[in-house]
Structure 1
Amino acid sequence: MTARSLALAAAAAITLAVPATAVADTPPTETDALAQAKQALLWQVQAGQSAQTKATAQAVKDAARSVVAEDTALCKKIDQLARQLGVSVPDQPSTDQQGWTAQLAAESGADFDRDFVTRSRRAGGELFTVVAAVRAGTKNDPVKQFALAAVDVVGKQLTAWDATTLVDTAALPDPPAPTSTAPVVPTPQGADPQVPQVTNAANSASANQTATDDRPGPAAVLAGLVLIVVLAAATVRIIRRVVNSA
């Protein structure tokens, strides 16, 4: 076998070794979402580990302990998914998140408890929005399975933070405004669905026109009067004959 043939065979072997689900199967938006989720989870793990020793309220310590365990497991799932998809994810929180960590490190007591819970609640809400959007729109089964698990875990964490009663709700972002949609107008079978309002308007006009045409016109009224007179005269003649014959 020539050197060229050996090179082609090696290239083919490498190609076959690549997982079936490759980067091309993962839209950039999903890759970005995995990266954002990984950074948020990493920050929550680091902050939660700190809170287990710095927090004063037992409810905060308990919530932090659960979050650390759950988010560590989710981080491992993201790493496995990234390897399967052939993409890279961060191994450190974002610059802003590291700034939050520095701010919390300078606090203690009740101030730490309140700010830690509020930061965690806000970060959890943003993470929930990301994974929920991925779950709703992805067509990639492995990504869908991860997003489904993450939605469940993060949703429970939000409830745990709220249960501490320490969340500063004024520091949370406003929920997104609902998207208004036009009411759905039923389309008759066989009609063009693109013009339901025009069709309905035409039907309404036709119905009104039909109702107007049902009223008798002047000629019909005159003919009716003539018919009544003729019948009345014939009736009178019949009555007279009966009376004369009697």
Structure 2
Amino acid sequence: MAAVLAAWTAGPAATAVAAPKPAAADLRAAAVRPAALQPQAPQPDPFNGAIPGDVGNGNGLLPPANNPPGAGAIVETALPGANTTQTRFGTIDDVDRLFLVKVRQAGLWERPTGLIAQQFAASERVKEIGRIMAEDHKQLDEECRFVAGQLNVALPDQPSAEQQAWMREFWPMRGHDFDVTAVKWLRFAHGGVFSAIASVRANTRNEMMRLYAERANLMVNKHMSLLESTGLVQYDNLPHAAIGAPAVALAAATAPTPKDANMFRLPVVALVVVAGLLGLVSIRRVVRGL
């Protein structure tokens, strides 16, 4: 047994020693292998280490947010009805606050994207859409900061990590590649915030938030239509609509029910019986008359 184990452990070493060295032709072939198989050098950061869309220093494309005193940060785990606060426009909760944060972050990456599209896009249509979106987000951001100030909501000065990743992806691109990639992420992002707007518009208890959601809804819907007019939207890559069984189950669980579901049952049955008896009497009279 010891001899077998020794032979088994020594086998690979002996094979390695006996293996022939690669021929010079093999070395030359490896040297000229396709570039796609060669180790790729890391791509330079198009923002030189800075945070894309950062306006915290006041020198960004959008003004920095002047957060009200005592306004707290909003986390991604915001829940409907959580941390409610009464304002003169009605109650707000974490979902209202998170909506304002999302609108602010949308402007922090979509406005710079609209500006750079006017320089590096190949399509004149994409350039024009970039100009429109940049102007619209400047207005929407002004309104967002005003509403946040009135409702004591803190706003960020940086896009989300996901939005920063999108910008880093297409920022070095030029021409058609820029058009396709920028439109892909812009349409994807607008679809997500469009759903959030609808939820806030339908469920908020705050009048100012309701009016601002209507304003944002018009602008986001307009931008989606503009992006779709380029013919570059990849619909197969968009998420499916989140409606159906979960929404129906939620509605059924929260729908109000009558105080007494049986209060109308006996009267209805009595009416049916009376109608049936009257029908029989009428039929007998008709038969006798014949």
| TM-score where L is the length of structure 2 | 0.57
Residues 23 and 87, structure 1, Cα contact 8 Å, conserved in 2: no
Determine whether 1:28 maps to 2:28.
no
Match of 1:87 among 128, 147, 153: 153
Is 1:136 the counterpart of 2:197 in the alignment?
no
Aligned equivalent of 1:242: none
Unaligned stretches of 5+ residues in structure 1: 1-19, 183-190, 215-246
Alignment match of 1:171 (pick from 197, 213, 237): 237
Amino acid at match of 2:231: T
Contact 1:70/1:153, CA 8 A, preserved across alignment:
yes
Q: How much does 1:151 deviate?
A: 0.7
Amino acid at match of 2:132: S
Shift of 1:207: 7.2
Contact kept in structure 1, 2:148 and 2:154, CA below 8 Å: yes
The two structures have a TM-score, normalised by structure 1, of 0.66
Could you say what the CA RMSD is over the residues aligned between the two structures, in angstroms? 3.4
User: Which letter does structure 1 place at the counterpart of 2:142?
Assistant: K
Summarize deviations over 1:156-196 as a string: whole Å, max 9, x none: 111101111111111111122244478xxxxxxxx976248
1:38 paired to 2:104: yes
Which has the greater radius of gyration? Answer: 1
Q: Which residue of 1 aligns with 2:217?
A: 151
Identity over aligned pairs, percent: 27
User: 2:126 touches 2:179 (CA, 8 Å); kept in 1?
Assistant: yes
Query: CA 1:56 to 1:193, structure 2 compared with 1: closer, same or farther past 3 Å?
Result: farther
Instruction: Output the CA distance in 2 between the equivalents of 1:144 and 1:194.
Output: 34
Partner of 2:81: none
Deviations 1:54-75 (A, max 9, x none): 1110000100110010011111
Residue in structure 2 matching 1:194, options 261, 267, 279: 261
- Secondary structure of 1:51's match? helix
Alignment equivalent of 2:121, drawn from 55, 60, 75: 55
Describe the SS at the equivalent of 1:25. strand
Letter paired with 1:194:
A
| Structure 1 residue 107 displacement after superposition | 2.4
* Equivalent of 2:227 in 140, 161, 169: 161
Asked whether the 8 Å contact 1:22–1:84 carries over to 2, the reply is no
Q: Deviations over 1:43-86 (max 9, x none)?
A: 11122122111111000010011001001111111111111111
Q: CA deviation at 1:114?
A: 0.9
Give the match's secondary structure for 1:35. helix
1:91-135, CA deviations, whole angstroms, 9 ceiling, x for partnerless residues? 111001000000012322212101111111111111111122211
AA of the residue aligned to 2:240: D
Does the CA contact (< 8 Å) of 2:89 and 2:206 recur in 1? Answer: no
Cα distance, 1:192–1:39 mapped onto 2, change above 3 Å: closer
Residue 126 of structure 1: aligned partner: 192
CA drift at 1:209: 8.6
Q: Which amino acid aligns with 1:69?
A: E
Q: Contact conserved, 2:184 with 2:234, CA < 8 A, in 1?
A: yes
